[in-house]
Structure formats: structure tokens, C-alpha cells
Chains A and B, each alone.
Chain A
Amino acid sequence: MSRVPTRARVGLALLVGLGLLSLVAGRLFPEALAQGCPLGLDPTRPDRSVCELAFGGLWVSLAVGLAAGALSTLLGLTVAAVARLSGGAVEQALLRAVDAVFALPDVLVVMVLQLAGQSLADAGQGGGLGPFGLMVVSLALVGWAGPARMFRNRLATLEAQEYVAASRALGGGGLHLLRVHLWPALRPFALAVFLSRLPAAILTESTVSFFGIARMEPMSLGRYLGTSYAALIYEGGGRVVLPAWALLVLLVLGASLASQALSEAPRRAA
């Protein structure tokens, strides 16, 4: 643990703290938030307090971000490993696919995937995916390209190391190299990549939910703001918007600090 940079520890502590707070306040003891919220009641839902909705939304947003971040990191890692193991034309084709996915904005593609997924679900062909699962899959399908590019570049760098060349000269196959020599060196980087996907997934989900396209229930932070934005505009929404904003910023700050520190640490050590 002593090798973990201080900035990463601060970031991870912030993330874990927010996660625990949202679990305790939003899920376990919501009545405490309902009674003691200094920001009062929500203008469009007079039976719910602003704190209740914000912390409840944080819990959902965080869960979506964690699941989508993990899935897109896993997909990216798989694509990068396949690209490096295959090499040649397959690697080039995969890199072109990565470029194509990377070129379009996440929000736009997630909207199209939500439309497709909802149409399938309405026709009973949704494969058992609810709104939560559909959102996680949509975010992972647009989010794998960045991790794939980062993992592929890191694998190419690691493969140029002498110990990998020595293992290859001794007859080590591609899978053996990946499992025994490359993966241990890649592990901290994988955590950093996962943490870098976390805020991106949360923000994309918030924006798509804000548009009213995703049917997330219980409401995420984005859907909470999106369902009441007309009222917020005309009745002055600062009281409602600011806590949700602060929670999103703290979440991103925690993930960014941890991700940056963890991705820089191996480079410094090298």
C-alpha cells in the first residue's frame, strides 16, 4: 500500500467515501435524509426531499458507472489482447474499428443504442435486460475503444522489454507471455483505465437520462434533473441543481485523481 501514490489514495478515499455515503444515506436510512434535509422539498415531487433524491441518484449513477466502467475495461483489454496476439492485418482491422468507434461522441451512440434496446425490450426480445442492464451494455459498447487503444499501446511497450524477449526466446507462447509476464505489469494500469472510464460513463449516463431517453428506475442523478428541468427553469433550480452538481464533481475528482496517479506510478517506477 506504501507504493500507492498519495493522490491516488485521496482519490480512492473520495470514491469509497461517496459510495458509502450514498449507500448509507440513499439506500439504508433514506428517512433521515427526508427529515433533516436543509435544502427542503423538491419542487416537482413535494413528498421527497432534495437530499433524498440527490443521494438516491448518486447511488444509481455510481452503480451504473462502476458496472459500465468494468465492462468496457474488460472489453477493451480483450480486444487489445486479441490484437497483439494476432498481429498483422487483424490488429490493423481492430485498430481501424477502434478509430471508428472513437470518432463518434458517446452521447449520440448511447442514444441510438438505447432506442434500439428499448425497441427490442418492448417487442419482448430484450434478453432480460432491464433499463439498468441496457444502460450498462450501451455504455460499455461505446466505451471500450479508449481502453482498447490504451491497453494495446501499453502491451506493445511492455513487449519490447528484455524479460519478455528472453521469455519469447525460451519458447514462451503468446498466451503464456500475456498471463505470466505481461498481466502482472498491466494490472495497476488496468485499474487506472477502469477509474478513467468511471466518470465518463457516469456523465454520459447522466446526459442521456437527462434527455429522458433512458428509463432508469430508481432515478439516477441525470434522470432526476431531467424529469424536473422545466420546473427548475421557471421556479429557480439552484437549490436542486447545486447538490447534484457537487456530487458529480466530487465523483469525477476522486476518479480523476486516482486514475492519473495510478497511471503515472508505473512510468515513474520504470
Chain B
Amino acid sequence: MKAVVQRLLRQVVLVPVVALASYFLMTALPLTTETDAKRQVSGELAASYRRDLGIGEPLGFLRPWEKLLRGERLGTSAQGITGDELLTKLSGSIGVGLMALPLALLWALGFALLRTRWRKGRWAAMGDVVPAVAFGTPVFIPALLLAPAVVERGHLLPELCAALVTSLWPGIFLGTLVGDSLEAELSRDYVRTALGKGLSRATVLRRHVLPNVWPAMLDAVGPVATSLLAGSFAAERVLGLPYFGQLYVLAVLNKQVAVVVVATTAFATLLVVVSLAVEVLRYAVDPRSREATT
């Protein structure tokens, strides 16, 4: 149990580390006034940033969070954001991510099966080409190609398209890992024994092989979740979805540094929650994980 707690603590400690690192990075930035150079913030804005970030105050790094908890607007003018708005935008992005997850699993399963079949034939090179095409395709490219047809349609079609384009690379990545793991397990003696004893191929797969493939799949869930969330930034921008990704990009473009601090920490928290969920799931489905911790 100690090892599990240690792993969880390592994940959780990431949140305050990111919060403090992003805060002190942002407060260290020289926010000069308009007269110093082009593209600078105005004196009024610079003062607002300092108030927002509690610069020069004891425990100033807690200021953005205090403002959020009090329901005050973080950032400047209309480009700022309240805690409720942040949660709404975050839940929108999570919704797109949750739509993308089953799609990614579908791509993964399909590609793993195809790859196993291709490996034996003249299509073997496709096992390398498809992941390269998926990896070499930044999310904004399929989003740009789909955008003219869907961007003004509504009825959740832009959200669905965002989920579709976001799920491509994570799905193929997951499929490559699962395919490799599946192939390694299928060549083991216990599979031959089970087939030799008369079990059907489907039963062997379900009862014997898949429980050994789950750990490899769970190992990949962290990077996949990161890719889904990061990919949603580009998809949301191209498809005009006013969620967390759009908020983050606009906050960086408009130098809303307090919003950047809070949004970065919120993003890190989300990733930690995913990691914790994966650890719990691993503990539940992988007996080796339970044995290692007793």
C-alpha cells in the first residue's frame, strides 16, 4: 500500500509545483508600459496585472485563487474570467474529451486488429505508414479540412468533429501499443494450451489474453489523455468552440497572465485526476499491481 500512496503523492505534488512555477514565472516577467516599446501593455493594464497577481504582497501567490473563490473576475476587462466561467469552459473541453475517448478506443481497436493482419501480408509497411501519417498530422489540419462544412451548423456537430480530429493520433498510438502487446501475448504457450484444450479463439482472447493486455493499455492512458486535452486546443480554435482551449490561447495572446496561471494549474490538476483514476483502475484490474503493493 505504501508504494501506491507514494505514486499518488508524486502525482498530487505536481499541482502545487505547477501552480507555484507558473505564478513565479509570470510575476517575474517585465510588463512594461506602452511608451517603452510596441506591443506592450498599457500602464492601467500593468497595474491590473499586479493587483491580479498580488505582486509585492505577502502570500501574493494565493491572490488569483482568492479572487476566483470570491467569484471576482480574474484578468482585465472583458477578457478576464470568473471561477464559474472557468468551470463552464473546462467542462466543455472535458465533454469534447469524453466524446473523443471512445472514438480513440475505437481507432485503437481497429488499428490493432488491422496491424496484426497486415503484418503477415504485403501490406506490412502500412503498420509504419499509418502511425506516421497520424502523428505527422497536427490536429489543426483535419480540423481545417472539416471546418467549412461544420463550423456554422451547430447541433453539437462542431463538438463531434473536434472529438473526431482530436482522437485520431491518440487512437492510432494506443492501437500500436495494444497491437504489439496483443501479438506478444498471442504467441505465448498458455494461449496455445487453451486453444489446444478446445476453447474458442474469442474465449481465449476474452478470458486469457485481454487481462494481460489491460496493463499495457493503462500505461498509455496518461499520454493519451494529455494528447486529447492538448489536441482540443487546436480543434476548439479552428471550429470556433468557446471552451478551455480557446480560453487558454486567448489568455496567452492577450497576456492575461493571471488567467494563464490559473488555467495552467487547472490543466495540471485535470491530468493528475486522470493519473489517479488510472492508478485506481490499475489496482482494480491488474492482480500484479495489487501483489506488488502488499
Contact = CB atoms under 8 A, between A and B. Distances in A.
B227 interface: yes
A211 B233 CA distance: 9
Contacts of A140: none
A211 B144 contact: no
A108 B264 contact: yes
Contacts of A248: 136-138, 141
Contacts of B128: 7, 253, 256-257, 260
Contacts of B252: 111-112, 114-115, 211, 213
Nearest to A238: B145
Contact of A211 (B29, B31, B145, B234): B234
Contacts of B25: 112, 116
Interface string B242-255: 00000011001101
Interface string A194-223: 000001000100110011110000000010
A123 B132 contact: no
Interface in B206-245: 222, 226-227, 229-230, 233-234, 237-238
A122 B132 CA distance: 38
B133 interface: yes
A96 B249 CA distance: 28
A236 interface: yes
A249 B138 contact: no
Given A105-B226, A213-B252, A234 B148 contact: yes
Contact of A233 (B132, B139, B147): B147
Given A211-B234, A213-B249, 18 more contacts: A103-B14, A105-B227, A107-B233, A108-B230, A108-B267, A111-B252, A112-B22, A115-B255, A119-B255, A211-B252, A222-B138, A226-B140, A232-B144, A233-B151, A234-B148, A249-B133, A249-B136, A253-B129
B201 to A, nearest CB: 30
Interface in A53-111: 96, 99-100, 103-108, 111
A251 interface: yes
A237 B145 CA distance: 7
Interface stretch (B34-42, B75-83, B87-95, B159-167): B34-42
Contacts of A233: 144, 147-148, 151, 238
B15 to A, nearest CB: 10
Contacts of A32: none
A74 to B, nearest CB: 23
* Contact residues on B (Cβ < 8 Å of other chain), bracket: 35 or more
Nearest to A240: B144
Contacts of A111: 248-249, 252
17 contacts: A99-B10, A103-B226, A104-B271, A105-B229, A108-B248, A112-B25, A112-B252, A115-B29, A115-B252, A115-B257, A115-B260, A122-B30, A225-B141, A229-B144, A234-B148, A238-B145, A253-B128
Contact of B136 (A104, A203, A213): A203
Nearest to B275: A103
Contacts of B148: 233-234, 236-237
B141 A123 contact: no
A139 to B, nearest CB: 14
Nearest to B268: A104
Given A99-B10, A119-B31, A234-B148, A199 B136 contact: yes
B195 interface: no
Nearest to A99: B10
A137 to B, nearest CB: 14
A115 B40 CA distance: 12
Interface string B26-50: 1001111000111110000000000
A175 interface: no
Contacts of A245: 137, 141
Closest 10 pairs between A and B when the two form their complex, measured CB to CB: A252-B136, A105-B230, A123-B30, A249-B136, A253-B132, A119-B29, A233-B147, A245-B141, A111-B252, A256-B132
Interface in B175-190: none
Nearest to B234: A207
A249 B29 CA distance: 37
Contacts of B227: 105
B64 interface: no
A119 B25 CA distance: 11
A102 to B, nearest CB: 9
A252 B173 CA distance: 14
Q: Most chain-B Cβ atoms within 10 A of its Cβ — which of A212, A222, A245, A260?
A: A245
Nearest to B28: A116
B171 interface: no
B69 interface: no
Contact of A104 (B138, B140, B144, B267): B267
Contact of A96 (B10, B144, B237): B10
A213 B148 CA distance: 24
B135 to A, nearest CB: 5
